[in-house]
């Protein structure tokens, strides 16, 4: 009789554990990042759509006061840089550095390099 009760309790615990694992949705909301990234690689003309989708997702996360997933600010910054907007790129790299301190070294390097590029363009124009 004790063995039967023990088996029932163990089966119930196992069921709870498996259910808990199955319903977990992940730590961060990515906003379709992987699909948008794939589409932009597959079809480079979709890079603007990718940037706009990331902008919307980041704005949504910030307005909801939720933490933006690691790397999304940096990805958005790189998209701005590719579009020729170094100032917005630096702003996004700065947000990435503040949100994710472990990225500080890389973000500082990117910020420095983009700032040099912006300064060089300003000198050429003057």
With respect to residue 33, please indicate whether it lies within any of the assigned structural domains.
Answer: yes
- 58-106: per-residue pLDDT in tens? 999 999 999 999 999 999 999 999 999 999 999 999 999 999 999 999 9
User: What value does the mean pLDDT of the chain take?
Assistant: 88
**pTM for this one?**
0.77
Residue 2 CA, distance from chain mean position = 52
Q: Give the DSSP per-residue string, 58-89.
A: HHHHHHTT-PPPTTHHHHHHHHHHHTT-HHHH
With respect to residue 95, please indicate whether it lies within any of the assigned structural domains.
Answer: yes
CATH of the domain at 98: 1.25.40.10
Q: Which of 16-25, 30-39, 116-125 has the lowest mean pLDDT?
A: 16-25
With respect to residue 84, please indicate whether it lies within any of the assigned structural domains.
Answer: yes
Range of the domain at 54: 27-125
């Amino acid at each position: 009789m004790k063995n039967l009760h023990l088996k029932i309790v163990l089966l119930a615990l196992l069921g709870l554990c498996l259910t808990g694992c199955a319903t977990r949705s992940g730590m961060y909301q990515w906003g379709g990042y992987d699909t948008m990234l794939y589409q932009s690689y597959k079809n480079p003309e979709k890079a603007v759509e990718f940037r706009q989708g990331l902008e919307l997702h980041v704005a949504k996360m910030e307005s909801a006061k939720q933490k933006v997933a690691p790397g999304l600010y940096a990805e958005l910054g790189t998209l701005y840089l590719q579009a020729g907007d170094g100032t917005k790129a630096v702003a996004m790299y700065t947000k990435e550095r503040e949100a994710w301190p472990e990225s500080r070294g890389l973000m500082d390097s990117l910020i420095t390099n983009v700032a040099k590029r912006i300064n060089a363009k300003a000198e050429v124009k003057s």
